[in-house]
Structure 1
Amino acid sequence: MNDNPREHFQGPVRLRRGQVNHETHDQKLLDSRGPSDWVHTDPWRVMRITSEFVEGFGALADLGPAISVFGSARTKVDHPWYAMGEQLGRELVEAGFAVMTGGGPGAMEAANKGASQAGGVSVGLGIELPFEAGLNSWVDKGINFRYFFARKTMFVKYTQGFVVLPGGVGTLDELFEAVTLVQTGTVTSFPIVLLGVDYWSGLVDWIRDQLLGNGMIGEKDLDLMVLTDDVSEAVRIMEKARHESATNPPQRRGQWG
Protein backbone atom coordinates (compact mmCIF):
# COMPACT_ATOMS: atom_id res chain seq x y z
CA MET A 1 0.00 0.00 0.00
CA ASN A 2 1.32 3.47 -0.86
CA ASP A 3 2.00 5.40 2.36
CA ASN A 4 2.27 8.69 0.47
CA PRO A 5 -0.55 8.63 -2.05
CA ARG A 6 -0.81 11.38 -4.61
CA GLU A 7 -3.41 14.01 -3.83
CA HIS A 8 -5.62 16.24 -5.89
CA PHE A 9 -7.88 19.03 -4.72
CA GLN A 10 -11.17 20.06 -6.27
CA GLY A 11 -12.09 23.15 -4.27
CA PRO A 12 -12.34 21.97 -0.63
CA VAL A 13 -12.51 18.31 -1.63
CA ARG A 14 -9.35 16.19 -1.17
CA LEU A 15 -8.98 13.24 -3.56
CA ARG A 16 -6.50 10.36 -3.26
CA ARG A 17 -5.58 7.16 -5.10
CA GLY A 18 -8.28 5.98 -7.47
CA GLN A 19 -10.48 8.99 -6.79
CA VAL A 20 -8.05 11.41 -8.45
CA ASN A 21 -9.50 13.01 -11.57
CA HIS A 22 -7.42 15.72 -13.20
CA GLU A 23 -10.30 17.10 -15.23
CA THR A 24 -11.30 20.42 -13.67
CA HIS A 25 -14.72 22.00 -13.31
CA ASP A 26 -13.49 24.92 -15.41
CA GLN A 27 -12.70 22.52 -18.23
CA LYS A 28 -16.15 21.04 -17.99
CA LEU A 29 -17.70 24.50 -17.92
CA LEU A 30 -15.71 26.00 -20.80
CA ASP A 31 -15.33 23.01 -23.11
CA SER A 32 -18.63 22.93 -24.95
CA ARG A 33 -17.54 19.88 -26.93
CA GLY A 34 -17.73 17.56 -23.94
CA PRO A 35 -20.76 15.71 -22.55
CA SER A 36 -23.40 17.73 -20.72
CA ASP A 37 -24.24 15.13 -18.06
CA TRP A 38 -22.20 16.99 -15.44
CA VAL A 39 -24.83 19.75 -15.14
CA HIS A 40 -27.25 17.22 -13.70
CA THR A 41 -25.01 16.00 -10.88
CA ASP A 42 -25.62 16.80 -7.23
CA PRO A 43 -22.86 19.42 -6.72
CA TRP A 44 -24.22 21.51 -9.58
CA ARG A 45 -27.75 20.96 -8.36
CA VAL A 46 -26.79 22.56 -5.03
CA MET A 47 -25.93 25.75 -6.90
CA ARG A 48 -29.30 25.71 -8.61
CA ILE A 49 -31.02 25.20 -5.27
CA THR A 50 -29.05 28.08 -3.76
CA SER A 51 -29.99 30.32 -6.67
CA GLU A 52 -33.67 29.57 -6.14
CA PHE A 53 -33.47 30.68 -2.53
CA VAL A 54 -31.51 33.81 -3.47
CA GLU A 55 -33.96 34.75 -6.21
CA GLY A 56 -36.96 34.09 -3.98
CA PHE A 57 -35.57 36.07 -1.06
CA GLY A 58 -34.67 38.96 -3.34
CA ALA A 59 -38.04 39.08 -5.06
CA LEU A 60 -40.16 38.82 -1.92
CA ALA A 61 -38.15 40.64 0.76
CA ASP A 62 -40.16 43.87 0.35
CA LEU A 63 -43.53 42.20 -0.17
CA GLY A 64 -45.12 43.37 3.08
CA PRO A 65 -47.95 41.53 4.87
CA ALA A 66 -49.17 38.65 2.74
CA ILE A 67 -51.40 35.60 2.94
CA SER A 68 -50.93 32.31 1.12
CA VAL A 69 -54.01 30.93 -0.61
CA PHE A 70 -54.08 27.27 -1.64
CA GLY A 71 -56.62 25.28 -3.60
CA SER A 72 -57.14 22.99 -6.55
CA ALA A 73 -55.82 23.76 -10.01
CA ARG A 74 -58.88 21.86 -11.30
CA THR A 75 -61.52 24.22 -9.94
CA LYS A 76 -63.65 25.40 -12.87
CA VAL A 77 -64.22 29.08 -13.57
CA ASP A 78 -68.00 28.69 -13.21
CA HIS A 79 -67.78 26.79 -9.89
CA PRO A 80 -68.81 28.52 -6.63
CA TRP A 81 -65.38 27.74 -5.21
CA TYR A 82 -63.82 29.88 -7.96
CA ALA A 83 -66.06 32.79 -7.00
CA MET A 84 -65.08 32.21 -3.38
CA GLY A 85 -61.42 32.44 -4.36
CA GLU A 86 -61.99 35.72 -6.20
CA GLN A 87 -63.82 37.18 -3.21
CA LEU A 88 -61.05 36.02 -0.90
CA GLY A 89 -58.32 37.63 -3.01
CA ARG A 90 -60.25 40.87 -3.19
CA GLU A 91 -61.03 41.07 0.53
CA LEU A 92 -57.47 40.21 1.53
CA VAL A 93 -56.20 43.12 -0.56
CA GLU A 94 -58.82 45.42 0.94
CA ALA A 95 -57.55 44.37 4.37
CA GLY A 96 -54.01 45.38 3.41
CA PHE A 97 -52.52 42.00 2.45
CA ALA A 98 -50.72 40.81 -0.63
CA VAL A 99 -52.00 37.49 -1.97
CA MET A 100 -49.63 34.61 -2.73
CA THR A 101 -50.65 31.42 -4.52
CA GLY A 102 -49.01 28.58 -6.39
CA GLY A 103 -49.60 30.58 -9.55
CA GLY A 104 -51.58 27.89 -11.32
CA PRO A 105 -55.11 27.76 -12.71
CA GLY A 106 -58.32 27.04 -10.83
CA ALA A 107 -58.58 28.24 -7.25
CA MET A 108 -55.13 29.80 -7.41
CA GLU A 109 -56.07 31.82 -10.47
CA ALA A 110 -59.26 32.94 -8.76
CA ALA A 111 -57.41 34.35 -5.74
CA ASN A 112 -54.82 36.03 -7.94
CA LYS A 113 -57.58 37.52 -10.07
CA GLY A 114 -59.45 38.93 -7.09
CA ALA A 115 -56.25 40.43 -5.71
CA SER A 116 -55.12 41.92 -9.01
CA GLN A 117 -58.51 43.41 -9.86
CA ALA A 118 -58.65 44.97 -6.38
CA GLY A 119 -55.38 46.76 -7.10
CA GLY A 120 -53.27 44.70 -4.73
CA VAL A 121 -50.10 42.66 -5.06
CA SER A 122 -50.84 39.32 -6.71
CA VAL A 123 -47.98 36.84 -6.35
CA GLY A 124 -47.55 33.42 -7.93
CA LEU A 125 -44.90 30.87 -7.00
CA GLY A 126 -44.91 28.34 -9.79
CA ILE A 127 -43.35 24.89 -9.93
CA GLU A 128 -42.19 22.81 -12.89
CA LEU A 129 -44.68 20.01 -13.43
CA PRO A 130 -45.13 17.71 -16.43
CA PHE A 131 -48.83 18.48 -16.72
CA GLU A 132 -48.99 22.18 -15.84
CA ALA A 133 -47.10 25.04 -17.47
CA GLY A 134 -46.64 28.68 -16.67
CA LEU A 135 -48.28 31.14 -14.32
CA ASN A 136 -51.86 32.28 -14.65
CA SER A 137 -52.45 35.65 -16.30
CA TRP A 138 -53.48 37.35 -13.03
CA VAL A 139 -50.07 36.93 -11.39
CA ASP A 140 -48.35 40.33 -11.24
CA LYS A 141 -45.17 39.09 -9.55
CA GLY A 142 -44.19 35.55 -10.38
CA ILE A 143 -41.34 33.18 -9.64
CA ASN A 144 -40.95 29.72 -11.12
CA PHE A 145 -39.19 27.08 -9.02
CA ARG A 146 -37.54 23.78 -9.86
CA TYR A 147 -37.63 22.49 -6.29
CA PHE A 148 -40.69 22.10 -4.10
CA PHE A 149 -38.82 22.68 -0.84
CA ALA A 150 -37.44 26.06 -1.96
CA ARG A 151 -40.91 27.12 -3.03
CA LYS A 152 -42.49 25.92 0.22
CA THR A 153 -40.00 27.97 2.22
CA MET A 154 -41.17 31.13 0.43
CA PHE A 155 -44.82 30.40 1.21
CA VAL A 156 -44.10 30.26 4.92
CA LYS A 157 -41.34 32.85 5.24
CA TYR A 158 -43.14 35.65 3.43
CA THR A 159 -46.76 35.15 4.49
CA GLN A 160 -48.57 35.55 7.79
CA GLY A 161 -51.21 32.85 7.37
CA PHE A 162 -52.79 30.26 5.08
CA VAL A 163 -56.30 30.15 3.68
CA VAL A 164 -57.06 26.80 2.07
CA LEU A 165 -59.79 26.36 -0.53
CA PRO A 166 -60.97 22.89 -1.59
CA GLY A 167 -58.17 21.01 -3.27
CA GLY A 168 -56.45 17.72 -3.87
CA VAL A 169 -53.19 16.04 -2.92
CA GLY A 170 -51.02 19.13 -3.46
CA THR A 171 -53.34 21.23 -1.35
CA LEU A 172 -53.29 18.62 1.42
CA ASP A 173 -49.51 18.57 1.32
CA GLU A 174 -49.34 22.34 1.76
CA LEU A 175 -52.00 22.29 4.47
CA PHE A 176 -50.39 19.61 6.63
CA GLU A 177 -46.93 21.07 6.24
CA ALA A 178 -48.27 24.36 7.59
CA VAL A 179 -50.08 22.57 10.44
CA THR A 180 -46.87 20.73 11.33
CA LEU A 181 -44.86 23.97 11.45
CA VAL A 182 -47.42 25.59 13.72
CA GLN A 183 -47.90 22.49 15.89
CA THR A 184 -44.17 22.23 16.55
CA GLY A 185 -43.78 25.95 17.22
CA THR A 186 -41.52 26.38 14.18
CA VAL A 187 -43.75 29.27 13.08
CA THR A 188 -45.83 31.34 15.48
CA SER A 189 -48.95 33.53 15.17
CA PHE A 190 -49.75 31.71 11.94
CA PRO A 191 -53.49 31.15 11.43
CA ILE A 192 -54.79 28.45 9.10
CA VAL A 193 -58.34 28.66 7.76
CA LEU A 194 -60.16 26.00 5.75
CA LEU A 195 -62.80 27.50 3.47
CA GLY A 196 -65.62 25.11 2.59
CA VAL A 197 -67.39 23.39 5.48
CA ASP A 198 -68.96 20.61 3.42
CA TYR A 199 -65.66 19.82 1.72
CA TRP A 200 -63.36 19.87 4.75
CA SER A 201 -65.59 18.69 7.60
CA GLY A 202 -64.95 14.99 6.91
CA LEU A 203 -61.22 15.55 7.21
CA VAL A 204 -61.62 17.55 10.41
CA ASP A 205 -63.86 14.84 11.86
CA TRP A 206 -61.27 12.19 11.00
CA ILE A 207 -58.55 14.20 12.70
CA ARG A 208 -60.70 14.48 15.80
CA ASP A 209 -61.85 10.86 15.84
CA GLN A 210 -58.67 9.10 14.78
CA LEU A 211 -55.68 11.31 15.57
CA LEU A 212 -57.00 12.76 18.80
CA GLY A 213 -58.99 9.65 19.66
CA ASN A 214 -55.86 7.51 19.44
CA GLY A 215 -53.66 10.00 21.28
CA MET A 216 -51.62 10.99 18.24
CA ILE A 217 -52.20 14.72 18.82
CA GLY A 218 -53.15 16.90 21.78
CA GLU A 219 -56.53 18.51 22.42
CA LYS A 220 -55.18 21.99 21.64
CA ASP A 221 -53.99 20.83 18.22
CA LEU A 222 -57.61 20.82 17.08
CA ASP A 223 -57.54 24.61 17.34
CA LEU A 224 -54.77 24.94 14.74
CA MET A 225 -57.31 25.05 11.90
CA VAL A 226 -60.50 27.08 11.65
CA LEU A 227 -63.29 25.74 9.42
CA THR A 228 -65.73 28.19 7.84
CA ASP A 229 -67.76 29.08 4.76
CA ASP A 230 -67.45 32.81 5.45
CA VAL A 231 -64.72 34.51 3.41
CA SER A 232 -64.98 37.66 5.51
CA GLU A 233 -64.46 35.63 8.67
CA ALA A 234 -61.30 34.12 7.18
CA VAL A 235 -59.98 37.59 6.42
CA ARG A 236 -60.85 38.82 9.92
CA ILE A 237 -58.86 35.92 11.40
CA MET A 238 -55.85 37.00 9.35
CA GLU A 239 -56.28 40.61 10.45
CA LYS A 240 -56.55 39.60 14.09
CA ALA A 241 -53.36 37.54 13.88
CA ARG A 242 -51.55 40.45 12.24
CA HIS A 243 -52.66 42.80 15.01
CA GLU A 244 -51.69 40.34 17.76
CA SER A 245 -48.31 39.77 16.18
CA ALA A 246 -47.65 43.50 15.98
CA THR A 247 -48.66 44.20 19.58
CA ASN A 248 -47.30 41.00 21.17
CA PRO A 249 -44.24 39.61 19.40
CA PRO A 250 -44.64 35.82 19.50
CA GLN A 251 -42.49 33.62 21.70
CA ARG A 252 -41.30 30.27 20.40
CA ARG A 253 -43.26 27.40 21.87
CA GLY A 254 -42.28 23.85 22.62
CA GLN A 255 -43.63 20.86 20.73
CA TRP A 256 -47.20 19.88 21.48
CA GLY A 257 -48.74 16.48 21.80
Structure 2
Amino acid sequence: MPELKFGLTAPLPCSYLPNEDEQLVFLLPDQPLSPKLYQQLLALNFRRSGEQVYTPHCPDCSACQSVRINPIDFSPSRSQRRLLNKAQRNELTHKFVDKPSADYFPLFADYITYKHADGSMFPPSREQLNTMLNCSWMKLHFLEQYRQQQLVAVTIVDTTSDAYSAVYSFFHPSVSALSPGILAVLYLLQCAQQNQKQWLYLGYQINECQKMAYKAVFRPQQRFIQGQWHSFG
Protein backbone atom coordinates (compact mmCIF):
# COMPACT_ATOMS: atom_id res chain seq x y z
CA MET A 1 0.00 0.00 0.00
CA PRO A 2 1.43 3.46 -0.89
CA GLU A 3 2.02 6.08 1.79
CA LEU A 4 -1.26 7.90 2.33
CA LYS A 5 -2.21 11.15 4.06
CA PHE A 6 -5.31 11.46 6.20
CA GLY A 7 -7.28 14.20 7.92
CA LEU A 8 -9.56 14.24 10.96
CA THR A 9 -12.94 15.94 11.06
CA ALA A 10 -14.08 18.10 13.95
CA PRO A 11 -16.52 16.43 16.39
CA LEU A 12 -20.17 16.56 15.32
CA PRO A 13 -23.35 15.06 16.81
CA CYS A 14 -23.59 11.39 15.86
CA SER A 15 -26.21 10.54 13.23
CA TYR A 16 -26.96 7.16 14.83
CA LEU A 17 -26.47 7.34 18.60
CA PRO A 18 -27.99 10.11 20.73
CA ASN A 19 -25.70 11.89 23.17
CA GLU A 20 -22.62 10.82 21.20
CA ASP A 21 -20.27 12.80 18.97
CA GLU A 22 -18.63 11.41 15.86
CA GLN A 23 -15.29 12.03 14.20
CA LEU A 24 -14.03 10.62 10.92
CA VAL A 25 -10.57 9.93 9.58
CA PHE A 26 -10.65 10.67 5.86
CA LEU A 27 -8.23 10.33 3.00
CA LEU A 28 -6.99 13.75 1.94
CA PRO A 29 -7.75 14.82 -1.66
CA ASP A 30 -5.37 14.07 -4.54
CA GLN A 31 -4.40 10.66 -3.18
CA PRO A 32 -3.75 7.75 -5.62
CA LEU A 33 -7.15 6.10 -5.22
CA SER A 34 -8.10 3.03 -7.25
CA PRO A 35 -10.32 -0.05 -6.80
CA LYS A 36 -7.21 -2.05 -5.83
CA LEU A 37 -6.27 0.40 -3.08
CA TYR A 38 -9.86 0.73 -1.93
CA GLN A 39 -10.05 -3.05 -1.60
CA GLN A 40 -7.21 -2.83 0.93
CA LEU A 41 -8.90 0.04 2.75
CA LEU A 42 -12.21 -1.84 2.92
CA ALA A 43 -10.38 -4.55 4.84
CA LEU A 44 -9.26 -1.85 7.33
CA ASN A 45 -12.78 -0.57 8.19
CA PHE A 46 -12.96 2.21 5.58
CA ARG A 47 -16.02 3.13 3.48
CA ARG A 48 -16.69 5.35 0.48
CA SER A 49 -19.10 8.27 0.18
CA GLY A 50 -18.94 9.96 -3.21
CA GLU A 51 -15.25 10.57 -3.91
CA GLN A 52 -14.42 10.50 -0.18
CA VAL A 53 -12.98 7.53 1.74
CA TYR A 54 -13.39 7.55 5.52
CA THR A 55 -13.52 5.51 8.70
CA PRO A 56 -14.99 6.35 12.14
CA HIS A 57 -12.47 7.58 14.69
CA CYS A 58 -14.51 8.56 17.73
CA PRO A 59 -12.49 9.08 20.95
CA ASP A 60 -15.17 7.76 23.32
CA CYS A 61 -17.03 5.25 21.15
CA SER A 62 -16.22 2.21 19.01
CA ALA A 63 -19.77 1.16 18.14
CA CYS A 64 -19.30 1.20 14.34
CA GLN A 65 -18.26 -2.28 13.24
CA SER A 66 -17.80 -2.99 9.54
CA VAL A 67 -19.65 -6.16 8.44
CA ARG A 68 -18.63 -8.52 5.68
CA ILE A 69 -19.95 -11.90 4.52
CA ASN A 70 -18.27 -14.67 2.57
CA PRO A 71 -20.91 -15.66 -0.02
CA ILE A 72 -19.56 -19.21 -0.26
CA ASP A 73 -20.16 -19.78 3.46
CA PHE A 74 -23.62 -18.19 3.49
CA SER A 75 -26.92 -20.01 3.12
CA PRO A 76 -30.28 -18.29 3.72
CA SER A 77 -32.08 -18.93 6.98
CA ARG A 78 -35.61 -20.31 7.02
CA SER A 79 -37.10 -16.83 7.38
CA GLN A 80 -34.89 -15.52 4.55
CA ARG A 81 -36.02 -18.36 2.27
CA ARG A 82 -39.63 -17.49 3.11
CA LEU A 83 -38.93 -13.87 2.17
CA LEU A 84 -37.39 -14.92 -1.16
CA ASN A 85 -40.46 -17.05 -1.88
CA LYS A 86 -42.76 -14.18 -0.91
CA ALA A 87 -40.88 -11.87 -3.26
CA GLN A 88 -41.29 -14.39 -6.07
CA ARG A 89 -45.03 -14.71 -5.40
CA ASN A 90 -45.29 -10.93 -5.56
CA GLU A 91 -43.54 -10.92 -8.94
CA LEU A 92 -40.35 -9.25 -7.74
CA THR A 93 -37.38 -9.67 -10.04
CA HIS A 94 -33.89 -8.16 -10.01
CA LYS A 95 -31.06 -7.19 -12.35
CA PHE A 96 -27.40 -6.47 -11.61
CA VAL A 97 -26.25 -3.82 -14.08
CA ASP A 98 -23.18 -1.64 -14.68
CA LYS A 99 -25.16 1.53 -15.44
CA PRO A 100 -28.61 2.79 -14.38
CA SER A 101 -31.45 1.44 -16.50
CA ALA A 102 -33.65 4.45 -15.74
CA ASP A 103 -33.72 7.82 -14.01
CA TYR A 104 -33.39 6.89 -10.32
CA PHE A 105 -34.32 10.28 -8.91
CA PRO A 106 -38.14 9.85 -8.64
CA LEU A 107 -37.61 6.63 -6.68
CA PHE A 108 -34.89 8.22 -4.55
CA ALA A 109 -37.11 11.25 -3.80
CA ASP A 110 -40.03 9.02 -2.77
CA TYR A 111 -37.74 7.05 -0.47
CA ILE A 112 -36.19 10.07 1.27
CA THR A 113 -39.61 11.66 1.77
CA TYR A 114 -40.97 8.40 3.19
CA LYS A 115 -38.00 7.38 5.35
CA HIS A 116 -35.99 10.50 6.17
CA ALA A 117 -38.36 13.49 6.13
CA ASP A 118 -37.01 14.44 9.58
CA GLY A 119 -33.34 14.07 8.65
CA SER A 120 -30.53 15.97 6.97
CA MET A 121 -31.20 14.40 3.55
CA PHE A 122 -34.63 16.04 3.28
CA PRO A 123 -35.64 17.55 0.96
CA PRO A 124 -34.10 15.17 -1.60
CA SER A 125 -32.04 16.66 -4.43
CA ARG A 126 -30.47 15.39 -7.63
CA GLU A 127 -27.11 16.58 -6.34
CA GLN A 128 -27.35 14.17 -3.38
CA LEU A 129 -28.13 11.27 -5.67
CA ASN A 130 -25.53 12.18 -8.28
CA THR A 131 -22.86 12.19 -5.56
CA MET A 132 -23.76 8.56 -4.84
CA LEU A 133 -24.00 7.50 -8.47
CA ASN A 134 -20.64 8.86 -9.60
CA CYS A 135 -17.07 8.13 -8.56
CA SER A 136 -14.14 8.89 -10.86
CA TRP A 137 -11.91 6.11 -9.52
CA MET A 138 -14.39 3.34 -8.59
CA LYS A 139 -16.37 0.97 -10.81
CA LEU A 140 -20.02 0.94 -9.72
CA HIS A 141 -22.79 -1.57 -10.25
CA PHE A 142 -26.47 -1.27 -9.47
CA LEU A 143 -28.83 -3.91 -8.15
CA GLU A 144 -32.27 -3.02 -9.49
CA GLN A 145 -35.45 -4.62 -8.17
CA TYR A 146 -38.66 -4.65 -10.20
CA ARG A 147 -42.27 -5.42 -9.44
CA GLN A 148 -44.27 -6.25 -12.55
CA GLN A 149 -41.57 -4.50 -14.64
CA GLN A 150 -41.72 -1.31 -12.54
CA LEU A 151 -38.48 -0.24 -10.84
CA VAL A 152 -39.11 -0.32 -7.08
CA ALA A 153 -35.67 -0.55 -5.42
CA VAL A 154 -32.01 0.21 -6.14
CA THR A 155 -28.78 -0.64 -4.35
CA ILE A 156 -25.56 1.15 -5.32
CA VAL A 157 -22.60 -1.26 -5.21
CA ASP A 158 -18.83 -0.70 -5.32
CA THR A 159 -16.91 -3.38 -7.21
CA THR A 160 -13.33 -4.52 -6.61
CA SER A 161 -11.56 -7.63 -7.84
CA ASP A 162 -12.50 -9.68 -4.77
CA ALA A 163 -15.50 -7.90 -3.25
CA TYR A 164 -18.78 -6.08 -3.61
CA SER A 165 -19.56 -3.30 -1.16
CA ALA A 166 -23.16 -2.14 -0.72
CA VAL A 167 -23.10 1.66 -0.60
CA TYR A 168 -26.73 2.78 -0.34
CA SER A 169 -30.21 1.36 -0.95
CA PHE A 170 -33.51 3.11 -1.61
CA PHE A 171 -36.95 1.80 -2.49
CA HIS A 172 -40.55 2.76 -3.15
CA PRO A 173 -42.79 2.83 -0.04
CA SER A 174 -45.25 0.46 -1.74
CA VAL A 175 -42.83 -2.48 -1.37
CA SER A 176 -41.66 -1.79 2.18
CA ALA A 177 -43.60 -4.83 3.48
CA LEU A 178 -41.47 -7.04 1.21
CA SER A 179 -38.26 -5.94 3.00
CA PRO A 180 -36.40 -4.79 -0.13
CA GLY A 181 -33.28 -3.97 1.90
CA ILE A 182 -32.95 -7.56 3.12
CA LEU A 183 -33.79 -8.86 -0.33
CA ALA A 184 -31.02 -6.67 -1.77
CA VAL A 185 -28.45 -8.32 0.49
CA LEU A 186 -29.71 -11.80 -0.41
CA TYR A 187 -29.59 -11.00 -4.13
CA LEU A 188 -26.13 -9.44 -3.81
CA LEU A 189 -24.86 -12.56 -2.05
CA GLN A 190 -26.12 -14.59 -5.00
CA CYS A 191 -24.33 -12.22 -7.42
CA ALA A 192 -21.14 -12.32 -5.36
CA GLN A 193 -21.13 -16.12 -5.38
CA GLN A 194 -21.82 -16.29 -9.14
CA ASN A 195 -19.00 -13.82 -9.84
CA GLN A 196 -16.56 -15.49 -7.43
CA LYS A 197 -16.20 -12.58 -5.03
CA GLN A 198 -14.67 -13.37 -1.67
CA TRP A 199 -16.65 -10.80 0.29
CA LEU A 200 -19.80 -8.75 0.37
CA TYR A 201 -19.33 -5.68 2.60
CA LEU A 202 -22.50 -4.28 4.20
CA GLY A 203 -21.16 -1.15 5.86
CA TYR A 204 -21.25 -0.49 9.59
CA GLN A 205 -23.23 -2.41 12.18
CA ILE A 206 -24.17 -0.47 15.33
CA ASN A 207 -25.75 -2.76 17.89
CA GLU A 208 -27.58 0.06 19.67
CA CYS A 209 -29.09 1.45 16.44
CA GLN A 210 -32.36 -0.15 15.29
CA LYS A 211 -31.83 1.03 11.69
CA MET A 212 -28.71 -1.18 11.51
CA ALA A 213 -30.23 -4.26 13.15
CA TYR A 214 -31.03 -6.05 9.87
CA LYS A 215 -27.32 -6.61 9.15
CA ALA A 216 -26.90 -8.85 12.19
CA VAL A 217 -29.24 -11.54 10.79
CA PHE A 218 -26.89 -12.51 7.96
CA ARG A 219 -24.73 -15.28 9.40
CA PRO A 220 -22.00 -16.34 9.35
CA GLN A 221 -20.42 -12.89 9.16
CA GLN A 222 -17.27 -11.07 10.20
CA ARG A 223 -17.11 -7.73 12.02
CA PHE A 224 -14.14 -5.41 12.34
CA ILE A 225 -13.66 -4.84 16.09
CA GLN A 226 -10.66 -3.07 17.66
CA GLY A 227 -8.47 -3.51 14.59
CA GLN A 228 -9.28 -7.16 13.78
CA TRP A 229 -11.94 -9.17 11.98
CA HIS A 230 -13.97 -11.40 14.29
CA SER A 231 -16.27 -14.20 13.10
CA PHE A 232 -19.89 -14.56 14.21
CA GLY A 233 -21.68 -17.79 13.32
| TM-score, scaled relative to structure 1 | 0.26
Greater strand proportion: 2
Greater helix proportion: 1
Does 1 or 2 have the higher relative contact order (CA < 8 Å, sep 6+)?
2
| TM-score, scaled relative to structure 2 | 0.27
Rg larger for? 1
